[in-house]
């Protein structure tokens, strides 16, 4: 298949177009990888059969050896003949082993023992090798920006309207914290994934024919893959483990999408506080040569729009009739796409954020735009604290006057003089200069960065 004969944009454009990541994603998320994981499970199953005395050690070695040489194409060709994916896999192994070994290939297992376990293994490792590192890179970049800009005054915005001043570092520390919480959630969900080796209906019918403690056998197979068994299983592992994992993925994606939204709005022509860096030869528009668009921020938001709704499929797949119906089979194959999309978006976001252009002059200019009004909150609070019986209303009316031309602070200092005389020097200073009205922005930024850095220190950073 030619790359451009593909139908999924994920394949032909985003994943295949990302040379940096293609190789590593490939190892966990491609179909070739999935088949490799299935072969690994089949090998470990026979290894445990030997451990439990059901077959000889030579058989186990024979099977392990066979498993290591089988390609995805081989399995697909056999599937075309027998119409069953795991049976095809089993046949491919059987062809490569001795007659003595043949009976023990896949022995006592049902297809889903292999598939569920392989999926748990590769999703867990995809978290470790792809999701967490990519997100951690972004987390580190954000911590770096937050610390660097902890004192950069910026007007805070609620409802898209100027509210009270913050610092740009404080704004970024929001994402340090939210992304940090999602890193923990993904890590926890990944380590919570479970496998199974309990047979066709979860009852250990087959394995109990040959093994006294089939639960112990199941645990033994899985521990060879670093996994534990599902608390209960039918033909399949309880679907909640994957649902929790995907929730962690989707909710992390939303955090990044929110960051992307914030950045692209701050890049609006009229605001211009940040910008994606732009290559000298890069073209912004096919017809408007001057354009500099936040295309990467837009791309991240757009990928989120494409993938977030797929969580509904995950919830639909929590339902499977009786000991299992197959209506979750095709659909659950698409789950890896969600992982891929988040990996790609985290990577893109890190690339862009680490080169983010921050325009402090614009930030200052924008703050100045509302300089007068910003004092309305501290003015009302100080009036109240010093005994004004209706401070909010008094100040609200003053701001109405101020909209008609006069400077708010001028009006305030004249009309609220008796109260002003009671205020401390610092309080008066803040009323005169909104840039001082930033609460504990800088300290809080450092505290948030410290908190999350310490959280991840020993484990990831």
Rounded CA gap, 233 and 250, in Å?
25
287 vs 196: CA distance, rounded Å: 57
Give SS3 for 357.
strand
Query: Which positions from 179 through 208 interact with its own copies, judged by CB under 8 A?
Result: 180-182, 185, 199-208
Residues 427-446 that bind its own copies (CB under 8 A): 427, 430, 437-441, 444
DSSP-based three-state secondary structure for 167: strand
Q: Considering the complex, what minimum distance in angstroms separates the CB of residue 237 from its own copies? A: 11
Establish if 82 lies at the interface with its own copies (CB under 8 A). yes
Q: Which is nearer to its own copies, 54 or 121 (CB)?
A: 54
Residue 399 interacting with its own copies (CB under 8 A)? yes
The answer for residues whose C-beta is within 8 angstroms of residue 381's C-beta and 6 or more apart is: 391
CB of 180 to its own copies, least distance (A): 8
Piece in contact with its own copies (CB under 8 A), picked from 96-104, 120-128, 136-144, 353-361: 96-104
CA dihedral 223, 70, 109, 195 (to 10 degrees): 40
- Give dist(CA 59, CA 50) in Å, integer: 8
Phi, psi at residue 167, to the nearest 5°? Answer: -120, 160
Contact 167, 442 (CB under 8 A): yes
Hey, which residues between 53 and 72 contact its own copies (CB under 8 A)?
A: 54, 71-72
The residue within the footprint of its own copies, chosen from 388, 412, 416, 456 (CB under 8 A), is 388
Nearer to its own copies, 131 or 340 (CB): 340
Q: Least distance (Å) from its own copies to the CB of residue 190?
A: 16
What is the three-class DSSP state of 262? helix
Give every CB contact of residue 114 below 8 A, 6+ residues apart in sequence. 38, 41, 42, 45, 86, 89, 106
Partnered with residue 157 across adjacent β-strands are 162
Q: Within 269-308, which residues bind its own copies (CB under 8 A)?
A: 269-271, 279-295, 298-299, 301-303, 305-306, 308
Strand-pair category, 357-358 with 274-275: antiparallel
Out of 37, 168, 170, 412, the only residue in the binding site for its own copies (CB under 8 A) is 170
CB of 279 to its own copies, least distance (A): 6
Q: Please say whether the dihedral angle defined by the alpha carbons of residues 169, 175, 178 and 179, taken in this order, is positive or negative.
A: negative
In three-state secondary structure terms, 153 is: strand
**How many residues belong to the site for its own copies (CB under 8 A)?**
200
Element (H, E) at 298: helix 295-307
Give residues 350-379 in contact with its own copies (rule: CB under 8 A). 366, 369-370, 373-374, 376-378
Q: Does 215 bind its own copies (CB under 8 A)?
A: yes
User: What residues have CB less than 8 Å from 282, skipping those under 6 apart?
Assistant: none
For residues 39 and 22, give the distance between their C-alpha atoms in angstroms, rounded to a whole number: 22
Is 311 a binding residue for its own copies by CB under 8 A? The answer is yes
Q: Which of residues 115-154 bind its own copies (CB under 8 A)?
A: none
State in angstroms the smallest separation of the CB of 13 from its own copies: 7
Of 120-128, 132-140, 268-276, 351-359: span binding its own copies (CB under 8 A): 268-276
- Given 176, 186, 274, 420, the residue binding its own copies (CB under 8 A): 176
Question: Helix or strand or coil: residue 440?
Answer: coil
Do 282 and 245 touch, CB atoms closer than 8 A?
no
| Least Cβ distance, residue 458 to its own copies (angstroms) | 19
Residue 31 binds its own copies (CB under 8 A) = yes
Nearer to its own copies, 81 or 148 (CB): 81
Element (DSSP H or E) covering residue 137: helix 132-148
18 belongs to the binding site for its own copies (CB under 8 A):
no
With residue 163 as reference, give the H or E element that holds it.
Answer: strand 161-167
Stretch that binds its own copies, among 58-66, 109-117, 121-129, 132-140 (CB under 8 A): 109-117
Contacting range for its own copies; rule: CB under 8 A; set: 60-68, 122-130, 352-360, 395-403: 395-403
Are the C-beta atoms of residues 273 and 266 closer than 8 Å to each other? yes
* Interface region with its own copies, contact rule CB under 8 A, candidates 128-136, 168-176, 219-227, 351-359: 168-176
Q: Tell me: does residue 257 bind its own copies (CB under 8 A).
A: yes
Instruction: Choose which of 39, 45, 59, 108 interacts with its own copies (CB under 8 A).
Output: 108
């Amino acid at each position: 298949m030619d790359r451009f004969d593909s139908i999924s944009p994920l394949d032909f454009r985003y994943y295949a177009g990302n040379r940096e990541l293609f190789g590593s994603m490939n190892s966990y998320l491609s179909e070739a990888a999935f088949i490799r994981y299935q072969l690994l499970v089949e090998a470990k199953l026979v290894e445990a059969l030997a451990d439990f005395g059901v077959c000889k050690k030579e058989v186990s070695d024979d099977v392990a050896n066979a498993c290591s040489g089988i390609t995805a194409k081989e399995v697909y060709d056999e599937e075309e003949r027998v119409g069953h994916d795991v049976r095809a896999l089993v046949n491919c192994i059987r062809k490569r082993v001795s007659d003595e070994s043949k009976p023990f290939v896949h022995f006592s297992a049902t297809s889903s023992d292999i598939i569920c376990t392989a999926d748990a293994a590769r999703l867990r490792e995809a978290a470790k090798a792809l999701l967490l590192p990519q997100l951690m890179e972004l987390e580190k970049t954000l911590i770096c920006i937050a610390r660097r800009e902890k004192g950069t005054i910026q007007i805070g915005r609620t409802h898209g309207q100027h509210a009270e001043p913050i610092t740009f570092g404080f704004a970024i520390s929001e994402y340090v914290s939210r992304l940090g919480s999602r890193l923990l959630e993904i890590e926890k969900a990944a380590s919570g994934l479970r496998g199974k080796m309990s047979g066709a209906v979860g009852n250990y019918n087959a394995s109990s024919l040959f093994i006294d403690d089939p639960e112990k056998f199941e645990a033994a197979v899985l521990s060879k893959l670093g996994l534990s068994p599902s608390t209960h299983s039918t033909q399949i592992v309880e679907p909640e483990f994957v649902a929790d994992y995907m929730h962690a993925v989707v909710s992390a994606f939303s955090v990044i999408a929110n960051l992307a939204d914030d950045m692209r709005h701050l890049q609006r022509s009229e605001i211009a506080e940040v910008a994606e860096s732009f290559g000298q030869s890069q073209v912004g528009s096919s017809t408007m040569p001057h354009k500099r668009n936040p295309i990467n921020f837009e791309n991240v938001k757009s990928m989120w729009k494409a993938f977030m709704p797929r969580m509904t499929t995950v919830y639909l797949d929590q339902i499977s009739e009786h000991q299992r119906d197959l209506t979750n089979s095709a659909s659950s194959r698409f789950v890896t796409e969600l992982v891929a999309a988040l990996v790609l978006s985290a990577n893109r976001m890190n690339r862009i954020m680490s080169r983010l252009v921050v325009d402090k002059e614009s930030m200052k200019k924008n703050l100045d735009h509302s300089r007068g009004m910003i004092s309305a909150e501290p003015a009302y609070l100080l009036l109240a604290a010093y005994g004004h019986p209706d401070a909010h209303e008094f100040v609200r009316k003053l701001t109405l006057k101020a909209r008609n031309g006069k400077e708010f602070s001028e009006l305030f200092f004249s009309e609220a003089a008796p109260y002003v005389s009671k205020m401390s020097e610092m309080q008066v200073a803040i009323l005169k200069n909104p840039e001082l009205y930033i609460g504990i922005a800088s300290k809080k930024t450092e505290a948030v960065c410290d908190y999350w850095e310490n959280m991840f220190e020993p484990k990831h950073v």
